[in-house]
Amino acid sequence: MKLRCSTLSTRCGRPATRGAERGTATLVVLVLLLLMAALIAINSSMVRQLKRELQRVEKVQLRKYDGRAVTNPPPTVPAQR
C-alpha cells in the first residue's frame, strides 16, 4: 500500500511549500508598501519645493511690476433716465 504525502507536511522528503509561499507573499507586500511610502515621501518633498519656487517667482514678478498691475475694470452701465 502506497501512502500519499500531504502538501502541508514535511514528510516524504518534500518541504512544506505553503508556509514558504505565505512568507514570500508577505515579503512582496511589504516591499510594495515600502516603495509606495518612498514615492509618497518624494512626492511630498517635491510639492513643498515647487510651492517655494512658485512663491519666489511670484515675489520676483511683484517686484518687477511694482504692484502696478491693472486689472480690467468692470463694465460701466450707462445711467438710465
| Chain segment 17-38, per-residue pLDDT in tens | 666 777 899 999 999 999 999 9
- Report pLDDT for 13: 58
Find the radius of gyration of the CA atoms of the chain.
34
Distance CA 37, CA 29 (A): 12
- Check whether 8 has a pLDDT greater than 60: no
Helix (H, G, I), strand (E, B) or coil at 13: helix
Q: What is the pTM of this model?
A: 0.51
Q: Any idea where the domains of the chain sit in the sequence?
A: 35-66
The larger pLDDT score, comparing residue 68 to residue 41, is at 41
| Chain segment 12-22, per-residue pLDDT in tens | 655 556 667 77
